[in-house]
Amino acid sequence: MGWYNKRLAKSIWVFHVSASPCNNCDIEILDLLTPKYDVERLGIKLVGSVRHADVLLVSGVINQKVAPMVKKIYEQAPKPIFVMGVGTCPSGGCCFNDSYNIVENREDVIPFDIYVPGCPPKPEAMIAGAAKLMEVLNG
């Protein structure tokens, strides 16, 4: 896969999966596209369909109702696909661990490759996360 991954790292296309977040991580992801951060200069592009995606940005603690959908999205994605957890929610559950409606083990639903903690992480942190992913892909 080394050859393929290197090509992938040149231009990551991301698809955004919001799995019961508080919306703020989503907003910050969108913020990345707007003039101040403008990640398109790094080849990162938000796409409308999971079939075009190389990386899934998952935000939020995954709740029980949305979990099958998230799983389905992961299955529909063309492989290889990398999953980035954005925010404290996917990394540690934030303050929602006591809830009755969230899945117990998020890694069972969708296997995360990289986490960007922060509530919400700054756009700079997300860019740093993407850069780290690119580094790994480049070998």
Partner 1 sequence: MKLSENMNQVPVGPFHPLLEEAEYFNLTVEGETVVDIDLDIGWMHRGHEFISEQKTFTQSIFLVERICGICSTSHPLACVHAIEDVDNIEIPERAAYIRTLVGELERIHSHLLWLGLAGHFIGYDTLWMWAWKYREPVLQMFEIISGNRNHYGVMRVGGVSRDIDLDRVKELHKILDTVDAKIKMIAAAAPDDPVLKSRLVGVGVLTNQDAIDMCAVGPTSRASGVPWDVRKDEPTDAYGLVDFDVIVLQNGDVWDKLVVRLLETLESTKICRQCLDKLKTVKGPILNNVKEISAGEGIGRYEAPRGEVFHYVRTDGSNRAIRHKIRAPSYVNIPTYSASCKGIPIADALITLAAVDPCYCCTERALRVKGEDPDAIDFVKLSREKTERIRREIHGH
Partner 2 sequence: MDRTDRTDDFLKKFEGKLTNVIRKPKRLYFVVDDKDIREVAQYIFRDMACRLSTATATEVYDAIEVLYQFSHDPSGCYFCPRVRIKDKKNPTMNSITPVVKGANWIEREMFDFWGVTFKDHPRPEPLLSRNHPNKLDKPLRFGRVS
Q: Which residues here bind partner 2, judged by CB under 8 A?
A: 64-65, 67-68, 100-101
Query: Could you write out the DSSP letters of every residue in 31-77?
Result: HTTSTTT-GGGGT-EE-S-GGG-SEEEEESPPBTTTHHHHHHHHHHS
Q: Which is nearer to ligand SF4, 60 or 129 (CB)?
A: 60
CB atoms within 10 A of CB 57: 25
Q: Which residues contact 111 (CB under 8 A, 6 or more apart)?
A: 74, 83
- The partner in contact with residue 114, picked from partner 1, partner 2, ligand SF4, none with C-beta cut-offs of 5 to 8 angstroms by kind, is none
Stretch that binds partner 1, among 1-9, 27-35, 106-114, 127-135 (CB under 8 A): 27-35
How far is the C-alpha of 86 from the C-alpha of 129, rounded, in Å? 9
Residue 44 engages partner 1 in binding (rule: CB under 8 A) = no
Stretch that binds partner 1, among 47-55, 78-86, 108-116, 127-135 (CB under 8 A): 47-55
Among 44, 57, 58, 60, binds ligand SF4 (CB under 6 A): 60
How far is the C-alpha of 106 from the C-alpha of 61, rounded, in Å? 8
Q: Which is nearer to ligand SF4, 1 or 27 (CB)?
A: 27
